[in-house]
Amino acid sequence: MWSERYSTQPEILRCLKHVADRFDLHRDIALETRVTEAHFDERTARWNVRTDCGDRVSAKFCIMATGCLSSTNTPRFPGLDAFAGRVFHTGQWPQEPVEFSGRRVGIIGTGSSAIQAIPIIAQQARHLFVFQRTPNYSVPAQNGPLDLEMQGRIKARYGELRRLGSQMPFGFDVKLNEKSALGVSDEERQAEYEQRWVQGGLPFLGAYADLLFSKEANETAAEFLRLKIREIVRDPEIVALLSPQDVVGCKRLCSDTGYFETFNRSNVTLIDVKSALIEAITPTGLRTVKQEYAFEDLILATGFDAMTGSLLRIDIRGVGDATLAERWAEGPCTYLGLSTVGFPNLFMITGPGSPSVLSNMVGSIEQHVEWIADCIAHLRAQGLSRIEATPEAQRDWVAHVNEVADSTLYPRCNSWYSGANVPGKPRVFMPYLGFPQYVEKCNQVAAAGYEGFRLG
């Protein structure tokens, strides 16, 4: 059982090691190994996989469990290679502790990772320069230890909590209030938002059923969060810079511990790089079009090449030697986020077109693993050796994913959900909203003999 509401990386790693030890998984895992290519051999109907360690593996099925947020996005800032100090990326943080005491630090980005890191670094650094392009909404994490009594209550209802979560749109219980934000009094709405703020975390989005569907309803939540920033931050100019004007939730809603309070510190400077663009990284810091800043450590909180980045960094080739990068040149196309046309026997765990990052990732991963395992068992039982999505099924699924997205406010923001954070990446809204409906569809496909797939 976790010791805190939001477990730290070391505790999560200990859990993973425990699972690997308990189920004797180490013998089936190759660590510090990067897959460089996966090519489908049409003659043998097998996947030939190579790694950077020189390994060569041949397999009938290839399952890509490469993660949705595992490929870091590092913008090509001029001069970055010439920076004389230490450079860190929040997505590739060293395992050993990093000490910032007495040092001048610059951090680029104010997304989820930065919002978690900035308060901690500000407590250590001599001075912290925060370079922000776009402000983000954030609610308190309200993190804290889980006492033994609370742990006991949770364990006693574990099965029930998992079943309840699986029926929620995001795959976990956000305590969804089915009322409309526009259908209640100002006093009731304010009280609901206040209660969610005190509770903390992502359940804030469950305050009203229409927050992600009605711009007017969403604006009531947005103004509440902007009011909180005004209450916390003392400098009106900083308040203006930190106050988002877009839709709450169409970018990942962040959760923090003391983030906005950090900008009341005398050793923290917020720089708006939307109005003063970054010209270059210098050997001693950073230069915008307006001013130069000197620091000894640079932190890139510039996010990830989400959903597709890890897949496209592998040389994946299917039928006719076509690459996945070629097939997805205008954006990813999949059937159920599990398979893509032209790549037989290739499965993706939480691929684009599945709930993935808009769900409880653990639940989504489990559902995909079980579905793929059952599918492979079915093929073997039927004496079949090949499965591939049909063009018609893929076309219809992509259209459905877009239709669902367009019924919400999600496409109204430039977010990593649509690849907008990576220059040159096609703008396609990649996740599917609605975990229970998605699971039902997957079950229907399997029950109908894997409808939408060509078996052979």
Is residue 396 domain-shared with residue 314, that is, in the same domain? yes
Of 69, 93, 66, 89, nearest in space to 10 by CA: 93
Is residue 64 domain-shared with residue 86, that is, in the same domain? no
Residue whose pair of structure tokens reads 């070391």 in the numeric block: 10
Res. 264: pLDDT tops 90: yes
Q: Is residue 31 part of a domain?
A: no
Is residue 237 domain-shared with residue 369, that is, in the same domain? no
Q: Is residue 224 part of a domain?
A: yes
Is residue 247 domain-shared with residue 333, that is, in the same domain? no
Q: How confident is the model at residue 150 (pLDDT cuts 50, 70, 90)?
A: confident
Q: What are phi and psi of 58, to 5 degrees?
A: -115, 130
Q: What is the C-alpha to C-alpha distance for residues 206 and 176, in angstroms, rounded to an integer?
A: 4
Termini Cα distance of the chain? 45
Q: Is the separation of the CB atoms in 175 and 204 below 8 Å?
A: no
Q: Read off the pLDDT of each residue in 276-298 and give the average, rounded to a whole number.
A: 98
Range from 223-227, 289-293, 318-322, 422-426 carrying the lowest mean pLDDT: 422-426
Q: Which tens digit of pLDDT belongs to each residue from 116-133? A: 999 999 999 999 999 999
Question: What is the CATH classification number for the domain harbouring 329?
Answer: 3.50.50.60
Q: How many CA atoms lie within 13 A of 161 on its CB side?
A: 8
Q: Read off the pLDDT of each residue in 251-271 and give the average, rounded to a whole number.
A: 97
Is residue 346 domain-shared with residue 404, that is, in the same domain? yes
Q: How confident is the model at residue 273 (pLDDT cuts 50, 70, 90)?
A: very high
Q: How confident is the model at residue 162 (pLDDT cuts 50, 70, 90)?
A: confident
Q: 7 or 437, which is more confident?
A: 437
Is residue 334 domain-shared with residue 210, that is, in the same domain? no
Q: How confident is the model at residue 292 (pLDDT cuts 50, 70, 90)?
A: very high
Is residue 140 domain-shared with residue 263, that is, in the same domain? yes
Confidence (pLDDT) at 182: 97
Q: Read off the pLDDT of each residue in 281-308 and give the average, rounded to a whole number.
A: 97
Is residue 210 domain-shared with residue 254, that is, in the same domain? yes
Q: What is the mean pLDDT of the chain?
A: 96
Res. 172: pLDDT tops 90: no
Q: Is residue 34 part of a domain?
A: no
Q: What is the C-alpha to C-alpha distance for residues 344 and 387, in angstroms, rounded to an integer?
A: 6
Among residues 262, 283, 300, which one ends one of the domains? 300
Is residue 99 domain-shared with residue 161, that is, in the same domain? yes
Q: How confident is the model at residue 376 (pLDDT cuts 50, 70, 90)?
A: very high
Is residue 111 domain-shared with residue 64, that is, in the same domain? no
Instruction: Determine what percent of the chain is predicted with pLDDT higher than 70.
Output: 100
What sign results for the dihedral spanned by CA atoms 323, 325, 328, 329?
A: negative
Is residue 192 domain-shared with residue 278, that is, in the same domain? yes
Confidence (pLDDT) at 154: 87
Strands 278-282 and 285-288: antiparallel
Q: Read off the pLDDT of each residue in 211-240 and give the average, rounded to a whole number.
A: 98
What sign results for the dihedral spanned by CA atoms 318, 322, 328, 333?
A: negative
3-state helix, strand, coil in the chain (%, to 5): 40, 20, 45
Among residues 247, 267, 300, which one ends one of the domains? 300
Q: Is residue 371 part of a domain?
A: yes
Q: Is residue 386 part of a domain?
A: yes
Of 64, 98, 97, 61, nearest in space to 324 by CA: 64
Total count of domains within the chain:
2
Residue whose pair of structure tokens reads 């922000």 in the numeric block: 132
Q: Is residue 236 part of a domain?
A: yes
Q: Which tens digit of pLDDT belongs to each residue from 197-219? A: 999 999 999 999 999 999 999 99
Range from 163-177, 208-222, 329-343 carrying the lowest mean pLDDT: 163-177
Among residues 283, 300, 317, which one ends one of the domains? 300
Is residue 223 domain-shared with residue 357, that is, in the same domain? no
| E strand or H helix at 86 | strand 86-89
Instruction: Determine what percent of the chain is predicted with pLDDT higher than 90.
Output: 90
Q: Which tens digit of pLDDT belongs to each residue from 7-57? A: 888 899 999 999 999 999 999 999 999 999 999 999 999 999 999 999 999
Res. 1: pLDDT tops 80: no
Confidence (pLDDT) at 173: 86
Confidence (pLDDT) at 161: 86
167 burial (CB, 10 Å; 0-12 / 13-18 / 19+) is exposed
Domain membership of residue 376 as a residue range: 60-71+309-455
Q: Is residue 17 part of a domain?
A: no
Q: Read off the pLDDT of each residue in 353-379 and give the average, rounded to a whole number.
A: 96
Res. 317: pLDDT tops 90: yes
Backbone angle region of 274, left / alpha / beta, with phi > 0 → left and psi within -120 to 50 → alpha: alpha
Res. 240: pLDDT tops 80: yes
Q: How confident is the model at residue 351 (pLDDT cuts 50, 70, 90)?
A: very high
Q: Is residue 6 part of a domain?
A: no
This prediction's pTM: 0.94
Supply 349's token pair: 């765990």
Q: Read off the pLDDT of each residue in 221-250 and give the average, rounded to a whole number.
A: 97
